[in-house]
Amino acid sequence: MPGDFAFKGCRKIQGSQIIHLLKAKDFFLFDCDGVLWHGEHAINGAPKVVNSLIRQGKNVFFVTNNCTRPRENYVNKFYRLGFTDVIQEQIFSSSYCSALYLRDVAKVQGQVFVIGGEGVRKELREAGIPIVEDEIDATDATIYDCALTQNVKAVLMGHDDKFTFLKLARASCYLRDPECLFLATDNDPWHPLQNGRILPGSGCLTAALEVATGRKATVIGKPSRFMFECISSQFPLQPAQCLMVGDRLETDMLFGANCGLDTMLTLTGVSQMKQAESYRDSKQHTNQNFVPDYVVDTIADFLPAFDVLD
């Protein structure tokens, strides 16, 4: 049964197996970084795969923890990189879903203190959520003399390359109120760039705020189920008909397991086959949740299947 941790195949598939999978599934959820593109370069064949799935009438969604752009910028990026059939409604980023959470689940009454860039702020504004907009980057203010905004009912931690001690301190003060919500777009500790280089992720900043406050953040992004629930609230998703395709075992595969979806690891990104096999062979039951059902070298391995299906 999909998502059952008893045994995950972790099998590399191709040819007729992929054809079978494409016939069996109606909903394809793709992570983006490391699956469709690396930075500004589409992975060879990926645009054709996505465009073909859409033209075949499959439901395609994009589920990304990357909160650095608003969805309309993502649409531009998809188009620029050759994914010409993608529309905004298919894109579910952690920043968009954080806005939905604040508006529809928490129904927040009051302002939200955001640590993050325009990618997060714009989504909240578009959802009609008031955010603290004062000049917090003023360099001579300190926690001892700065004023605290009244009526802050939530703190949202996202990826912030302009992160400072003062922002951390202000967020800690707001979170002293147990009624003030503590949200994080995602927990990723680092992100890969090209050539094996990495950068710190939101997970580091969230960890700092958790230590300062003694509280745990509610994480919106993968592997939490919430982004799947966002998609389900807008589209008629059946878990058994879904395939989650990602490159990171600890986020994408675990997300799939948490939502009861079949999972596919593509080897064009963060995680390697050896790591997947290591989780599979581990004695710890819960490690099975990191193991993919299927593995491909690249999603371009789908392409021969379309020739048959067309």
Partner 1 sequence: MAVSKCTLLTGPLIKQLLDSVDTVLFDCDGVIWRGNQAVPGAADVIDLLKKNGKRVFFVTNNSSKTRKMYAEKMKTMGFDAKEDEVFGTAYCTAMYLKTVLKLEGKVYLIGNNAMKEELENVGIQHTGTGPDLIFGTPSDWANVPLDPEVKAVVVGFDNDFSYMKLNRAMQYLSNPDCMFVGTNNDTRLPLEGGKVVPATGCMVKAVETAAQRPAQVVGKPSPFIFDCVASRFKLDGARCLMVGDRLDTDILLGSNCGLKTLLTLTGVSTLADAEAHQRSGSPQRLVMVPDYYVISIADLLPALQG
Could you confirm whether 161 is annotated as catalytic? no
- List the one residue from 135, 140, 161, 179 that touches partner 1 (CB under 8 A): 161
Residues 112-141 that bind partner 1 (CB under 8 A): 139
User: Taking contact as CB under 8 A, which single stretch among the options 29-37, 43-51, 169-177, 255-263 is the one that binds partner 1?
Assistant: 169-177
Return the CA Rg of the chain.
20
Residue labelled with tokens 């806005």? 99
Instruction: Give the closest residue to 74 by CA, choosing from 122, 124, 125.
Output: 122
- Residue 168 CB, shortest distance to partner 1, in Å, is 5
| Using rule CB under 8 A, residue 205 touches partner 1 | yes
- CB nearer partner 1, residue 194 or residue 284: 194
- Residue 301 CB, shortest distance to partner 1, in Å, is 29
Query: Distance between CA atoms of 70 and 96, rounded to whole angstroms?
Result: 7
| Using rule CB under 8 A, residue 303 touches partner 1 | no
Size of the site for partner 1 (CB under 8 A): 38
Residue 43: DSSP 8-state: P
- Residues 296 and 267 sit within 8 Å (Cβ to Cβ): yes
Query: Distance between CA atoms of 82 and 67, rounded to whole angstroms?
Result: 21
Which of helix, strand or coil describes residue 270?
A: coil
Amino acid (1-letter code) at residue 180: C
Instruction: Give the closest residue to 114 by CA, choosing from 101, 124, 104.
Output: 124
CA distances for 200 relative to 35, 144, 160, angstroms: 20, 28, 10
- CB nearer partner 1, residue 250 or residue 262: 250
User: Taking contact as CB under 8 A, which single stretch among the options 81-89, 106-114, 203-211, 223-231 is the one that binds partner 1?
Assistant: 203-211
- List the one residue from 105, 141, 212, 273 that touches partner 1 (CB under 8 A): 212
- CB nearer partner 1, residue 42 or residue 53: 42
- Residue 161 CB, shortest distance to partner 1, in Å, is 5
- CB nearer partner 1, residue 26 or residue 160: 160
- CB nearer partner 1, residue 183 or residue 299: 183
| Using rule CB under 8 A, residue 95 touches partner 1 | no
- List the one residue from 176, 235, 297, 308 that touches partner 1 (CB under 8 A): 176
Which of helix, strand or coil describes residue 10?
A: coil
- Residues 182 and 218 sit within 8 Å (Cβ to Cβ): yes
Residue 102: which residues within 8 A CB-CB, separation 6 or more?
A: 108, 112, 124, 127, 129, 154, 156, 181, 183
Please pick, among 33, 188, 252, 262, the residue that the annotation labels catalytic.
Answer: 33
- Residues 256 and 263 sit within 8 Å (Cβ to Cβ): yes
- List the one residue from 194, 283, 285, 310 that touches partner 1 (CB under 8 A): 194
Could you confirm whether 31 is annotated as catalytic? yes
Containing 262, the helix (H) or strand (E) segment is strand 262-266
| Using rule CB under 8 A, residue 214 touches partner 1 | yes
Query: Distance between CA atoms of 232 and 170, rounded to whole angstroms?
Result: 35
> For residue 172, what are its two tokens?
């800690």
- List the one residue from 105, 131, 132, 207 that touches partner 1 (CB under 8 A): 207
Which of helix, strand or coil describes residue 173?
A: helix
- CB nearer partner 1, residue 148 or residue 309: 148
Catalytic positions, please?
31, 33
For partner 1, the binding residues (CB under 8 A) are: 39, 139, 142-144, 148, 160-166, 168-169, 172-173, 176, 189-190, 193-194, 197-201, 203-205, 207-214
